[in-house]
Structure 1
């Protein structure tokens, strides 16, 4: 759709499209990599219908109120779906024997998006090194609490210890600095052979 065509639409339709897509992005953040255009369109339409209903209910109070209410309704529904609704739906499908598919097609996406807490991580690299984050709780409040699992398979982490290919172990010091922050290490997916994670 061209910009000129979009702005020729009624305000309610423009709001529905924008709020619907924003709802989709919010509800499926981190899970969209495996979605195709059909998934994006129809999930966006689900949130767009909520935005449209909200817009129509509040339209009598003016376009600004209707606009804000529509976006807010879509975002709230997306947040509720992401936090509780999706999990509840999948639980119901599993318990009733309909299916056990959660729509996540890669294990790494499931790990990266879990709401469980990660306590320890070790990353084995292609060149034989092993990088350890032994106590993530020490870095609460630091960037990403000391660990970020990228959607592309990369890892950003605090490295407390490193085991070299010859078996030598090195303990890192000066990881946290009051003025400069916390030192993190980026490991590209292409350099990772294995990742061990402890979760609660």
Structure 2
């Protein structure tokens, strides 16, 4: 595969490399179930930007030494920046526009769980996981673990959860019980891994981040 890529014309290599850089940044977190045609078209869109930047820089700096390397780095940087801007603001603004125009309510972010996971405009404050056997695992103040080795809590697109559990309640318990030694200066913080197959449902409190 690499040998075939090297044999391609330089401009094709440039489009593929810079396009892939821009596309992966722009779609970070939304590539689950990605189709091959989506990947190809995305690379071509950002690769075109990369090629235009490369061509312009090469023309403007044609008298400089190492002009090819300078132009290639400039193309890669611009594609990376374009992908970053789309990922940070462009995607949200675009779908808000479609919503306001009453064209669609689909934001192309996949499952609702992934939409919550990828939304950087909100932050979790409290989380309760109810297991299949009825056991409840709670983190009363998620933000207290902002400085932990693994910040706050972790989750993935399949629903696995890693949570700092400071309270626990089993179905036959009348009251919640405090989990001792969740935090330790010597040993670190106790992170509980909860596989998705064991989760019945999840309750999360969110606050909107201040702009």
TM-score (norm 1): 0.92
Counterpart of 1:143 in structure 2 is: 149
Aligned to 2:80: 75
Say what the alpha-carbon RMSD is for the aligned residues: 1.6
Q: Is the 8 A contact 2:14 2:72 kept in 1?
A: yes
Query: Offset of 1:45 from its aligned partner?
Result: 1.6
Structure 1 gap ranges (5+): none
1:103 counterpart residue number: 108
The answer to whether the 8 A contact 1:162-1:170 is kept is yes
Q: 1:180 to 1:22 in 2, by over 3 A?
A: farther
Matched residue SS, 1:166: coil
Q: CA deviation at 1:127?
A: 2.1
> Are 1:132 and 2:132 counterparts?
no
**Contact 2:25-2:83 at 8 Å conserved across structures:** yes
Give the match's secondary structure for 1:41: helix
Cα shift readout 1:51-85 (whole Å, capped 9, x = no counterpart): 11122122335122122111111111111001110
Structure 2: segments with no counterpart, 5+ residues? none
Higher Rg of the two aligned structures: 2
Distance 1:63 1:181, change over 3 A: farther
- Do 2:15 and 2:43's aligned partners in 1 also have CA atoms closer than 8 Å? no
Partner of 2:187: 180
The runs of 4+ residues in structure 1 deviating greater than 4 Å are: none
Q: Which has the higher helix share?
A: 1
Q: Does 1:190 align with 2:197?
A: yes
SS at structure 2 position matched to 1:120? strand
